[in-house]
Structure 1
Amino acid sequence: MKPNPECDVLIIGAGATGSLAATVLARAGLDVVCLEQGSWVEPSDHPHYSSDWTWQRRTNWNSDVNKRHHPDDYPVASDSSQVLMWNGVGGSTNVYGAIWPRYRPSDFRKGDEHGLQPNWPIAYEDLAPFYEIADKLIGTSGLAGDPAMPPREPCPTGPLPFTRAAGRLAESFDKLGWHWWPAEAGVISENYDGRPGCNGCGICNGCPRGSMSKFSLSIVPKALAAGMKLRTHARVLRIEKGLDGRAKGATFVDRNTGLTEFQGGKIVIVAANGVGTPRLLLASGNLANSSDQVGRNLLHHTLVSSEMWVDEPIESHMGYVASLIGREFAETDISRGFVNGFQFNCLTGTSSAGEAAAGWVTDTKAPWGHDHHGWFERHFGHVIGIHAIGDDLPNPENRVTLDPTTSDSEGIPAAKLHYSPGENDRRMMNFMLDRLADIGNAAGAFEVKLTDYRDQDGVYRTPAWHMIGTCRMGESAGSSVVNKWNQSWDVPNLFIVDGSVLTTGGVVNPTPTISALALRAAGYIRDNFDRLTGSVRSMAA
């Protein structure tokens, strides 16, 4: 095995959180090495430049790892959901939608609210400054002043243009007397930080221009400029632990040469997402798992969806992926028959080929035959898509484990996911479907399609793709994997900075909160590096 010189900080994963942590720590003058099992994704690689753009997005560029076959992927077995991830520099920001709302203050204190979820060991106020730092580093757009949220600084760029589809939907919300607000986005509405403003080309999953904050274009260059050393095609086999109980570094395979190498690090940070991180810890001899919580409490969000078609041509295939959000039902109201809440993400439509072949939100598609042209003329550019996304309750049996029969090309057991919505989640989903029907009626839609994602046997499945909660943060070592600084309770120089640490799921896309947490943890490591590593030196002495 080839050894490499020990570094100050070893980061596993060059996605959103790994690159943010690397930027903070390298700027502080620390020697940072980042191991990424995937490759660079060049702008020209994106499907936007292909004549079969829609087909590529549904196959080779599908955000679900199980619907594409990419050499950087590893196998993931799931009985319920999409598995949104991308192994490569920038991670899943190569294929995400960059909807950018923040958690609400109540999301951090569900234990006090109803006791069916734990409290976070931190409050919204602890994280608020790091939301602001993340927005400036990453480049976001939006409109400050939402009365449903705490005050915040203005976004670095103003809100994205309000589309005709958004206007029609806003009128519908006004008729119902419901909250709506222009969606915050990890997308710049004007030139910012050397990247061009969004041109509104259509529904997004990744952006070769960098208008949507693809972290390989927005953050990784900052980390490299500060001195981070990046190794691509470096698939980590396991994290090694010394006799002193602390992490020594990682054994990995250089997938270019086939050689096995060891990279030591005084601090080890894992940033491998809500599936990859528990998989790696379990494959590393059940590392950091005295609580038996590694891999447990997998959260996806409850999710139901709607497409509705209106007579007015609203050019719904144009613009950014999410036009507005609705937080009318974001807080718990037990008179609805369940705890927790949900919000609406109101979406653009799909491309002409997508509308004809498979739809997007509900898989509604044009009929073939003599009705095809008439259906297409009435439906294309007339659709409004809506996801209702809710806060699912954690269940320790919803989890990531190691598959006993399948492994990747390096012999690491595959990840195996099990997830099933609970009774509270199903009640919420039914309520959400009724509210989507209300929106369709208020919009004057001539057709409304709802989906609750039950299969032919009536079993609830979920297409939700947010894989979080599997190494959750908590107030005690017995009930969580990391403390309030993202630090392992069991392995003091091991930190986890990805979505696996989220204590609760909230009702929103998690990347803004994950990014803020990563910045907060990196700042803690930077400010306490001598203390955190001094104990290692004294033990070694």
Structure 2
Amino acid sequence: MARADQEADVLIIGSGPSGAVTAKLLTEAGMSVVTLEQGTWFDPGDYPGDKKEFELAAGKQWHPAPNVRDRERDYPINTSESDVEPLMQSAVGGSATIWAGHWVPFLPSDFKVRSLDGVAVDWPFDYYEVLPHLEAVEKLVSSSGTRGNPGYPEQAGYPTPQIPIGKAGMKLAEGMDKLGWHWWPGLNAMPSIPWQGQNPCARRGTCMFGCPEAAKWSPDLVLFKEAKKYGHRMIAGARVSEIIYDDNLSRVTGAVYIDQNGRERKQMAKIVILCANAIGTPRILLNSKSKRFPDGLANSSGLVGRNLMMHPFGLVMGHFEENLESWYGPSGQLINTLQFYETDESRGFVRGAKWGGMSGGGPLSSKGFVGSEVFSDNGRIEDHWGENWHKMIESKFGRTALWAIVGEDLPEESNRVEIDADLVDSDGIPAPKIIYKTSENSRRLLDFHAERAKESMEAAGAKSTSVAPQMRESGWHLLGTTRMGNDPKESVLNQYGQSHDIPNLFIFDLSAFPTGAGANPTATLMAVAHRQATHLVNEARNVEVA
């Protein structure tokens, strides 16, 4: 096990799902591995979901946007020129500590959108090359679900049985059945029975603010415990300021970081792997400059930070007469649908979206942001004050189900991550600025899907609906800013996540994705990281690691 002043075989920056998979595989292969994580460890007891003030805490201390939460371990992000607010968590386990647990693999078409639809780019490998790695990681995440979704090619089953979809899931399915549309029970990264030391889902429905039951899968609960058995070393509270590049060797040799006491330190390594998300990874590269790379490390293509994708997100709520007990979780997905996932040019746009059927949450969630401009059909705030507020809660709490629409946005170089000229984090490291504008294709896509989702709610018997075709605070999925590809002029990485410019620098997080699909990305992220780490284990003895 490498000490802080020793050279490790591998340095991983970031401890989210991709970093965790990588750490587990490399340590099991006998490599000395150190992970630097700017956040700290959370205990399940820290999470607010089992506390009376849960929904109030979720609006500030546990808000998913770092600009709102504003903890010392977060870094600020200039979003003044972005249509979407990025959401992430600084913690051991990364944003998977506060994710909803949606487990939705990409489809075969997602890897070949250029060939199929004439847009964006193809991936340098296809779905079937990823599939065995997907099946491997599904055993690691204690997923629960029902095998046989006709939207996918045949694959292995899941470790634990389906979590009940409940009355809210059945109500959503009723509308789909009446319209003759596809739906399938939701697959979630949480066990329905005790599994691998994890508790079964207690159905609190507070997944997106941490699981106090230690049931929802996250890297800190499972993979890093496994990696530690093989000598993995986690340095929490370590904020990386730059990656060290040796112009004479044409290699990276480690990273400089600021520890929790404000001291500057170095961690040296033979190989460096970035897993800091599609904002954090380009931020580190752009802040790391040398004689050879004056515009940022590994940036000869000029594409580091470019092609940011954030999955424009819409929400449609249905409010029903009957009590659906829709406070029950999981707040992952009760059911989902791929009915409108593939391109149909007659709709006026390309690509599509996955819908996740979800519960309505607590009283403040089910109200649907009354009086705001986010949702339609909610009236004035004055109409829902005092006694009317209580009537409104009685009519919606437990009686609301929703469709969460994850739309595919295509990569555009103008959507990007830059280093802000003035903004810095609490250690004085230059902070990122994101520039992101929703394309006309994405707007048409979201409008179409919102109308169809509203139609399904009405078919299910909703007495009213609330519709938000696009929500600003929805940037859970950050992708594309150091894309993979075969041409060094058109991409930052090769098909194994290896920098075209620097042979011992790798990127295994979502920033490597050439396109973003119309589905939640964590399942594919972990599968691709498993593929890349497996290749690295097999080829690590070669100097060039090609």
Secondary structure at 1:301 match in 2: coil
Shift of 1:389: 1.6
Query: Could you give the per-residue CA deviations for residues 229-281 of structure 1, whole angstroms, max 9, x where no partner exists?
Result: 1111111110011122111110111123x221111111101110111001000
The one-letter code of the counterpart of 2:319 is W
Query: Could you give the per-residue CA deviations for residues 196-225 of structure 1, whole angstroms, max 9, x where no partner exists?
Result: 110111242121322110211021111111
> Is the contact made by 1:6 and 1:263 (CA closer than 8 Å) also made in structure 2?
yes
> Is the contact made by 1:207 and 1:214 (CA closer than 8 Å) also made in structure 2?
no
> Is the contact made by 2:306 and 2:416 (CA closer than 8 Å) also made in structure 1?
yes
1:305 maps to what in 2? 315
1:387 maps to what in 2? 404
1:350 maps to what in 2? 361
1:215 maps to what in 2? 219
1:457 maps to what in 2? none
CA distance in 2, matches of 1:362, 1:441: 17
Given the alignment, which residue of 443, 466, 473 partners 1:426?
A: 443
Is 1:165 the counterpart of 2:176? The answer is no
> Is the contact made by 1:39 and 1:233 (CA closer than 8 Å) also made in structure 2?
yes
Given the alignment, which residue of 122, 129, 150 partners 1:126?
A: 129
2:339 maps to what in 1? 328
Secondary structure at 2:336 match in 1: strand
Shift of 1:289: 0.8
CA distance in 1, matches of 2:197, 2:477: 30
Secondary structure at 2:139 match in 1: helix
> Is the contact made by 2:368 and 2:466 (CA closer than 8 Å) also made in structure 1?
no
> Is the contact made by 1:342 and 1:389 (CA closer than 8 Å) also made in structure 2?
yes
> Is the contact made by 2:312 and 2:470 (CA closer than 8 Å) also made in structure 1?
no
Within a 5 Å distance, the mapping from 1:48-197 to structure 2 comes to: 48-78=49-79, 79-197=82-200
> Is the contact made by 1:37 and 1:233 (CA closer than 8 Å) also made in structure 2?
yes
1:244 maps to what in 2? 249
Is 1:340 the counterpart of 2:351? The answer is yes
Query: Could you give the per-residue CA deviations for residues 391-426 of structure 1, whole angstroms, max 9, x where no partner exists?
Result: 111110001110001111222211111111112111
> Is the contact made by 2:49 and 2:204 (CA closer than 8 Å) also made in structure 1?
no
> Is the contact made by 1:299 and 1:469 (CA closer than 8 Å) also made in structure 2?
yes
Given the alignment, which residue of 231, 234, 240 partners 2:238?
A: 234
Secondary structure at 2:266 match in 1: strand
1:30 maps to what in 2? 31
Change (3 A) 1:464 1:5: closer
Is 1:370 the counterpart of 2:381? The answer is no
Query: Could you give the per-residue CA deviations for residues 39-72 of structure 1, whole angstroms, max 9, x where no partner exists?
Result: 1011121112433111111111111111112111
Deviates more, 1:81-90 or 1:176-185: 81-90
CA distance in 2, matches of 1:373, 1:31: 59
Query: Could you give the per-residue CA deviations for residues 432-455 of structure 1, whole angstroms, max 9, x where no partner exists?
Result: 12212211220111111111248x
CA distance in 2, matches of 1:189, 1:419: 38
What's the TM-score, normalizing by structure 1? 0.94
> Is the contact made by 2:11 and 2:34 (CA closer than 8 Å) also made in structure 1?
yes
> Is the contact made by 2:70 and 2:76 (CA closer than 8 Å) also made in structure 1?
no
> Is the contact made by 1:296 and 1:400 (CA closer than 8 Å) also made in structure 2?
yes
Query: Could you give the per-residue CA deviations for residues 174-202 of structure 1, whole angstroms, max 9, x where no partner exists?
Result: 11111100111111111100111101112
Shift of 1:302: 2.5
The one-letter code of the counterpart of 1:387 is A
CA distance in 2, matches of 1:233, 1:375: 44
Gap regions ≥5 residues in structure 2: 290-295
> Is the contact made by 2:199 and 2:213 (CA closer than 8 Å) also made in structure 1?
yes
Secondary structure at 2:346 match in 1: helix
> Is the contact made by 2:312 and 2:474 (CA closer than 8 Å) also made in structure 1?
no
CA distance in 2, matches of 1:225, 1:293: 38
CA distance in 1, matches of 2:4, 2:172: 59
Query: Could you give the per-residue CA deviations for residues 368-395 of structure 1, whole angstroms, max 9, x where no partner exists?
Result: 1232332222211110111222111111
Secondary structure at 1:138 match in 2: coil
Shift of 1:162: 1.8
Is 1:494 the counterpart of 2:505? The answer is yes
> Is the contact made by 1:80 and 1:463 (CA closer than 8 Å) also made in structure 2?
no
Query: Could you give the per-residue CA deviations for residues 480-527 of structure 1, whole angstroms, max 9, x where no partner exists?
Result: 111111111111111101111111111111111111111111111111
CA RMSD across the alignment: 1.9
The one-letter code of the counterpart of 2:440 is E
> Is the contact made by 1:302 and 1:462 (CA closer than 8 Å) also made in structure 2?
no
Change (3 A) 1:522 1:369: same
Is 1:288 the counterpart of 2:289? The answer is no
Is 1:269 the counterpart of 2:273? The answer is yes
> Is the contact made by 2:367 and 2:392 (CA closer than 8 Å) also made in structure 1?
no
2:260 maps to what in 1? 255
Query: Could you give the per-residue CA deviations for residues 141-174 of structure 1, whole angstroms, max 9, x where no partner exists?
Result: 1111011101111111111112101001101001
CA distance in 2, matches of 1:448, 1:358: 13
CA distance in 2, matches of 1:338, 1:356: 32
The one-letter code of the counterpart of 1:489 is H
> Is the contact made by 2:65 and 2:473 (CA closer than 8 Å) also made in structure 1?
no
> Is the contact made by 2:183 and 2:338 (CA closer than 8 Å) also made in structure 1?
yes
Change (3 A) 1:70 1:227: same
Given the alignment, which residue of 412, 416, 421 partners 1:399?
A: 416
Is 1:8 the counterpart of 2:16? The answer is no
Identity %: 37
> Is the contact made by 1:203 and 1:348 (CA closer than 8 Å) also made in structure 2?
no
Is 1:319 the counterpart of 2:335? The answer is no
Shift of 1:463: 3.0
What's the TM-score, normalizing by structure 2? 0.93
The one-letter code of the counterpart of 1:446 is K
The one-letter code of the counterpart of 1:59 is K
Shift of 1:534: 8.5
Shift of 1:358: 4.2
Deviates more, 1:432-441 or 1:124-133: 432-441
CA distance in 2, matches of 1:43, 1:166: 27
Deviates more, 1:165-174 or 1:440-449: 440-449
> Is the contact made by 2:503 and 2:544 (CA closer than 8 Å) also made in structure 1?
no
